[in-house]
Homo-oligomer: A and B are copies of this chain.
């Protein structure tokens, strides 16, 4: 990718830290991603060292303004906490309690922004994508897992910790006897509606199910239940649905219709009508939302550092 911004502006580094791969990039945004490195996620020390090495040259030449890390979680995003920058309770072997920010900041000597991968994606869609100009939005990814991030008042949402919308506790539908796949909650949203849940319920990989298979109507029901609760709590101005499962575009109209049915006309807003196509949308940045989220976190860290 090329063009757009840049010139002699110091570069921003982004690390999309995922459970299976790390994606590292230098640039200024989706139209200016200059170099990219994809690493398998092995041990923390090995993976972090390889990411640091990727940025070290630019940092040494004084060309690196900041690094952003958009990570799988749960994690500690509170700069005032002693475990700021750590992954906390992940079931991924070897990664619980890993400090991501510390080693990167010490090795590169630049400000490091840190947030969940999905808060990063929400920030990137707000900055460059399907959420520009909005005050409040949700980004939900539906794939191997389900995760959600949010922007409120133009900033990624934090509080006690950070949103964990993938684990919303919803009701299993009477005609569904699949127990749910989440190791923590069984039949939470992720347990009932992630890609692996679809595969285990129907005995086939989700992407091999035809577009008119009943799996999609049930999937839309569960996702709409989760979205209904998001709307009732957070009242976002737009919901962006990404991730591998959402590549099944037939889900979008099914979800819109089901959401309107579940809300029962209680909330009066044109956006919530079943035929409204601008409320529940795919990400404008597509699969680049993750790494662009990390770049956006770096941009924010650089700005916060300047004061």
Asked whether any CB of chain B lies closer than 8 Å to the CB of A273, the reply is no
Copies in the complex: 2
Digitize A229-272: 1 where CB-to-B-CB distance is under 8 Å, 0 elsewhere.
11111111100000000000000000000000011111111011
Q: Is A235 touching B135 in the complex (CB atoms < 8 A)?
A: no
Output the least CB separation between A227 and chain B (Å). 10
Nearest 10 CB-CB pairings of A with B:
A171-B171, A136-B159, A159-B235, A184-B266, A184-B264, A233-B233, A153-B153, A88-B268, A89-B268, A152-B152
Assembly CA distance A256 to B87 (angstroms): 25
- Picked from B167, B172, B265, B271, the residue with its CB within 8 Å of the CB of A89 is B265
Q: Is B171 touching A266 in the complex (CB atoms < 8 A)?
A: no
Q: List 9 A-B contacts (CB under 8 A).
A: A89-B266, A160-B237, A160-B271, A161-B269, A165-B233, A168-B233, A171-B172, A184-B265, A185-B262
Output the least CB separation between A170 and chain B (Å). 7
Asked whether any CB of chain B lies closer than 8 Å to the CB of A74, the reply is yes
Asked whether any CB of chain B lies closer than 8 Å to the CB of A18, the reply is no
Which secondary structure characterizes the binding site on chain A?
loop
Assembly CA distance A168 to B229 (angstroms): 5
Asked whether any CB of chain B lies closer than 8 Å to the CB of A155, the reply is yes
Output the least CB separation between A76 and chain B (Å). 9
Q: By the criterion of a CB under 8 Å from any partner CB, how many residues of chain A are at the interface?
A: 48
Residues on B with C-beta less than 8 A from A281 are none
Q: Is A163 touching B233 in the complex (CB atoms < 8 A)?
A: yes
Assembly CA distance A232 to B182 (angstroms): 15
Residues on B with C-beta less than 8 A from A167 are 232, 266
Are A159 and B269 also in contact (CB < 8 A) when A169-B228, A225-B169 are? no
Assembly CA distance A262 to B164 (angstroms): 14
Q: Is B268 touching A74 in the complex (CB atoms < 8 A)?
A: yes
Asked whether any CB of chain B lies closer than 8 Å to the CB of A157, the reply is yes
Asked whether any CB of chain B lies closer than 8 Å to the CB of A158, the reply is yes
Asked whether any CB of chain B lies closer than 8 Å to the CB of A28, the reply is no
Known contacts A161-B268, A162-B235, A229-B233; can you find 17 more A-B pairs with CB under 8 A?
A: A74-B267, A74-B268, A152-B153, A152-B159, A158-B235, A159-B234, A159-B235, A161-B267, A165-B233, A167-B266, A168-B232, A168-B233, A169-B228, A170-B171, A184-B263, A185-B266, A233-B233
